[in-house]
Structure 1
Amino acid sequence: MQTVEPQDEHRWLQQLLGNWTYESNCSPDKPDEVFKGSETFRSIGDLWVVGESTSEMPGGGASTMQITLGFDPQKGRFVGTWLGSMMAMIWTYEGFLDDSRKILTLESEGPSFSGDGTTAKYRDIVELRSPTERLFYSKVLGADGSWTEFMKARYQKI
């Protein structure tokens, strides 16, 4: 197997490394609920980053989430996964940077909010505001073809 040399996209992911705190609003089908948490990103070599976060769930109870991100040069896309202690599904990502190289859009498919067994398309978006601030928000694609934001978090590096 041939060793992969880090590319600009791999270096972009290194900006996520470190310890962060966050406050998030989540409202898929009810009034906004706010929760706080913390996240630590570490690298696995020069090609991958892994983030693990903990928080209280809206309505109570602790949660742990993990995200892995890398860049696949053959696909020309960012790739990754997300999982949470509150669900039995692992989400898989493919994504891209915008032209400003400040916004990473990660696309996935998973259970819809309808609860009827159908799936929906989702976007999780990482927006680097500065070396110490980033946003993370999630959107779902509606039947009308529009994207609706249902979660937003603001992160501060500590």
Structure 2
Amino acid sequence: MPNPLLLLSLTFALLFVGDAVAQEQPTMPEPTPEHQWLQQFSGNWTTKSESSMGPDQPPVQCEGIMTSRMLGGFWLINNMKGDYAGTPMNGIQTIGFDESQKKYVGTWIDSVTSFMWHYEGHVDSTGKVLTLEAEGPNFMSDGKTTKFEDIYEFRSENELSIQSRILADDGQWITFVSGTATRSKSE
């Protein structure tokens, strides 16, 4: 037969330890307004764009889809699938907000290059335009790197304007991709 005093002592000990452990649990961070801003990307989008890989290169029409979802309220994951000049292309983009740096951060990888892009960026004062900056291989100048910008402007809750720009050797920004993303009607 169990000792009632021992059972009572064990019960109090477990309650005390459980209470102490519960008090030591760190508070998990909550998504900030900057993280919440990213939620407007969530959904399925149809993309149409035109790109040019050089001043004397003809423009190429591209079509695709972008599926966007939030991960834990902190990270946006964009899965992009499309066709670029007859070549299938897949890309994965992550965007979040680094509270300690007070800036948007992210990455881009795709199926046609071996380079991982690292973004830093901001939303403009209108609250409609996200500009992500990165440095990477300059496809207009062999062996060099340069600065790039990806610019997303919400024209409405269902339409995005998208631009990608490269900083040329002369210091001028050149838009090499421009297009739109339209939210699928089933959203």
Structure 2-normalised TM-score? 0.81
3-state secondary structure, aligned to 1:64 = strand
Give the SS at the match of 2:38: helix
Structure 1 counterpart of 2:51, from 5, 23, 26: 26
Relative to structure 1, the CA distance from residue 42 to residue 31 in structure 2 (aligned partners, 3 Å threshold; closer, same or farther) is same
How far apart, in 1, do the equivalents of 2:92 and 2:166 lie? 20
> How many aligned residue pairs are there?
157
* Paired residue type of 2:71: I
Question: What is the deviation of 1:16?
Answer: 0.1
Q: Deviations over 1:61-112 (max 9, x none)?
A: 2110111000001000000001110000110000001110100000000001
Equivalent position to 1:83, from 98, 109, 121? 109
Q: Say if 2:156 is the partner of 1:130.
A: yes
Structure 1 unaligned residues grouped into runs of 5+: none
8 Å CA contact 2:108–2:118 kept in 1: the answer is yes
Match of 1:57 in 2: 84
If each structure's strand is expressed as a fraction of its own residues, which one has the higher value? 1
Among all aligned residue pairs of Structure 1 and Structure 2, give the percentage whose two residues are the same amino acid: 38
Which residue identity is paired with 2:30?
E
Residue by residue, what CA displacement relative to the aligned partner does 1:27-77 show, whole Å, maximum 9, x if unpaired? 02111111110110011011111010111112x121101110000010000
Give the Cα separation in 2 of the matches to 1:77 and 1:96: 6
Does the alignment pair 1:147 with 2:160?
A: no
Identify the residue that residue 40 of structure 1 maps to in structure 2: 67
What secondary structure, in the 3-state scheme, does the structure 2 residue paired with 1:149 have?
A: strand
In 2: Cα distance, 1:93 partner to 1:145 partner: 20
Say yes or no: does 1:16 pair with 2:38.
no
**What secondary structure is seen at the aligned counterpart in 2 of 1:135?**
strand
Q: Paired residue for 2:7? A: none
- Tell me the SS of whatever aligns to 1:88: coil
Structure 1: distance between partners of 2:29 and 2:168: 38
d(CA) in 1 for partners of 2:159, 2:151 = 14
State the shift of 1:2 in Å: 5.5
Give the greater-gyration-radius structure (CA): 2
RMSD of aligned Cα (Å): 1.2
Structure 2 CA distance for aligned equivalents of residues 56 and 157 of structure 1: 19
Q: Is the 8 A contact 2:50 2:62 kept in 1?
A: yes
Q: CA separation in 2, counterparts of 1:34 and 1:111? A: 22
Q: How far apart in 1 are the matches of 2:66 and 2:31?
A: 24
Mapped to 2, the partners of 1:95 and 1:72 lie a distance apart of 10
Higher helix residue share: 2
Structure 2: tracts of 5 or more residues without a match: 1-25
